[in-house]
């Protein structure tokens, strides 16, 4: 039977795959706390569908028909949409089964949920796609949906030792997904491998072009403005991967981007503050006691922006998008940091998204791959950045690098102690 889902679970029947995933979700959730609600509906196999029996988690920002969707907020407790978000609907049409809704930070901002990191329960799984990252890392589901406005797919994937992919801006639909910043919001995936993401993304978008064989890849190593803030272990991982890839025939050239790209963080913050204020001011006015201080501070920052700042930020971003396209000429991608190091303690928040922000602002495809572990026993990885609009070329690069790293990296087995 030629089903993608069968490739994930060693040829199990679709019904067995789903049953195992549902049992793992129910058994683990009191400790892992990855799901807000589990799907009570039975699975009905349709063997003719390419994703028949693929168990998935869906971040609780995506509307799901007949399943509570609260967006990480007590305001929406008990809210059950009549219709699923477009991306969820598409995956289900392809045969995937929604095991449950995964925990998100409140409205995808900084108010963390209860989810823990499968590699260390005192550590954050990252945010805002925390439940999705933890569920995949713990082996409960092979793939889950996330969103990214700053670093909310790449960072949690890196913290949990799994693969993550944020496509180019607008590549995946955000219909019926709770917004934070319309200019910055992206839909994307977290999974056990980037190869699985490549296959699922191809089915979702109807892309059938095969990956190139025997291609020689050229990468640009960019340290960027966050390099000095990162842990030595994280820096060593990026440099070690660069050296290893060179030894495997990949051309890796170190070359920083022009200093004007250091403006990306400030530009992204301006855009986010302005747009989030427009979205959440009415909610604060109506339900002030039920909105976290993090959202209130975000709205306040947006309302305090000087007039014209937002429009100027958009114009500067557009210029940087054009400049990056020029800077990427002759390269297949960029190699850089996915995070500042190992996942911090739960008490310290969900981690700094800084190394991801520029790439989100510029709307280019990015992926993260796990590589090794730090002194605290937590995962460390790399980030790859591609050309805007060339998502499948970027995924082909990521798959090629993943296959090389599997032969080299010091990875433990998937953290299945919860599953």
Residues 16-75: pLDDT tens digits? 999 999 999 999 999 999 999 999 999 999 999 999 999 999 999 999 999 999 999 999
pLDDT value at position 3? Answer: 58
pLDDT value at position 199? Answer: 97
CB atoms inside a 10 Å sphere around CB 363: 20
CB 305 within 8 A of CB 269: no
Distance, CA of 351 to CA of 153 (rounded, Å) = 12
Distance, CA of 191 to CA of 212 (rounded, Å) = 22
Per-chain mean pLDDT for the chain: 95
Query: Is a pLDDT exceeding 70 seen at residue 4?
Result: no
Q: Phi, psi at residue 126, to the nearest 5°?
A: 95, 170
Q: Which candidate, 12, 32, 16, 88, places its Cα nearest to that of 56? A: 88
pLDDT value at position 11? Answer: 52
pLDDT value at position 356? Answer: 98
Query: Is a pLDDT exceeding 50 seen at residue 185?
Result: yes
Distance, CA of 83 to CA of 320 (rounded, Å) = 38
Mean pLDDT of 262-289: 98
pLDDT band at 413 (very low <50, low <70, confident <90, very high): very low
pLDDT band at 407 (very low <50, low <70, confident <90, very high): confident
pLDDT value at position 209? Answer: 83
Residues 336-372: pLDDT tens digits? 999 999 999 999 999 999 999 999 999 999 999 999 9
pLDDT value at position 268? Answer: 98
pLDDT band at 414 (very low <50, low <70, confident <90, very high): very low
Helices 130-137 and 14-32, interaxial angle, to 10°? 120
Mean pLDDT of 120-131: 97
Query: Is a pLDDT exceeding 50 seen at residue 2?
Result: no
The label of the residue with tokens 């409140």 reads 106
Query: Is a pLDDT exceeding 60 seen at residue 388?
Result: yes
Q: Which candidate, 182, 229, 189, places its Cα nearest to that of 339? A: 229
Task: List all residues 6 or more positions away from 377 whose beta carbon is below 8 Å from its beta carbon.
Answer: 119, 120
Let me know the angle formed at the C-alpha of 74 by 70 and 296, rounded to the nearest 5 degrees.
105
Residues 71-96: pLDDT tens digits? 999 999 999 999 999 999 999 999 99
What is this structure's pTM?
Answer: 0.96
Residues 378-387: pLDDT tens digits? 999 999 999 9
CB atoms inside a 10 Å sphere around CB 1: 10
Q: Phi, psi at residue 173, to the nearest 5°?
A: -70, 145
pLDDT value at position 410? Answer: 56
Residues 127-163: pLDDT tens digits? 999 999 999 999 999 999 999 999 999 999 999 999 9
Q: Which candidate, 258, 384, 269, places its Cα nearest to that of 323? A: 258
Distance, CA of 266 to CA of 225 (rounded, Å) = 12
CB atoms inside a 10 Å sphere around CB 20: 16
């Amino acid at each position: 039977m030629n089903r993608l889902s069968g490739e994930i679970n060693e040829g199990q029947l679709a019904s067995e795959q789903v049953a195992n995933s549902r049992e793992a979700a129910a058994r683990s959730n009191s400790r892992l706390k990855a799901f807000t609600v589990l799907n009570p509906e039975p699975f009905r196999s349709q063997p003719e569908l390419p994703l028949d029996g693929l168990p998935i988690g869906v971040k609780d920002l995506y509307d799901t028909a007949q399943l509570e969707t609260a967006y990480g907020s007590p305001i929406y407790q008990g809210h059950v949409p009549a219709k699923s978000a477009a991306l969820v609907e598409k995956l289900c049409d392809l045969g995937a089964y929604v095991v449950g809704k995964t925990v998100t930070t409140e409205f995808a901002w900084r108010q963390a949920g209860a989810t823990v990191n499968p590699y260390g329960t005192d550590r954050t799984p990252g945010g805002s796609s925390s439940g999705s990252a933890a569920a995949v890392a713990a082996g409960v589901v092979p793939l889950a949906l996330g969103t990214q406005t700053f670093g909310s797919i790449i960072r949690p994937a890196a913290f949990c030792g799994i693969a993550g992919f944020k496509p180019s801006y607008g590549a995946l639909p955000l219909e019926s997904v709770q917004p934070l910043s319309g200019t910055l919001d992206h839909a994307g995936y977290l999974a056990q491998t980037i190869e699985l993401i490549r296959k699922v993304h191809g089915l979702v978008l109807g892309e059938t072009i095969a990956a190139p064989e025997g291609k020689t890849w050229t990468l640009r190593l960019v340290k960027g403005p966050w390099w000095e803030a990162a842990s030595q272990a994280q820096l060593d991982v990026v440099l070690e991967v660069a050296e290893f890839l060179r030894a495997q025939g990949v051309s890796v050239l170190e070359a920083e981007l022009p200093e004007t790209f250091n403006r990306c963080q400030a530009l992204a913050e301006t855009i986010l503050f302005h747009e989030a204020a427009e979205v959440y001011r009415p909610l604060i006015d109506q339900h002030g006691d039920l909105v976290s201080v993090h959202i209130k501070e975000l709205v306040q920052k947006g309302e305090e922006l000087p007039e014209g700042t937002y429009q100027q930020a958009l114009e500067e971003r557009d210029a940087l998008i054009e400049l990056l396209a020029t800077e990427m000429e002759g390269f297949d991608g960029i190699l850089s940091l996915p995070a500042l190091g190992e996942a911090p303690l739960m008490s310290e928040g969900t981690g700094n998204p800084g190394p991801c922000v520029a790439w989100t602002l510029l709307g280019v495809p990015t992926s993260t791959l796990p590589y090794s572990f730090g002194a605290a026993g937590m995962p460390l990885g790399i980030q790859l950045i591609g050309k805007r609009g060339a998502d499948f070329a970027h995924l082909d690069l990521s798959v090629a690098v993943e296959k090389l790293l599997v032969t080299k990296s010091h990875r433990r087995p998937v953290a299945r102690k919860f599953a």
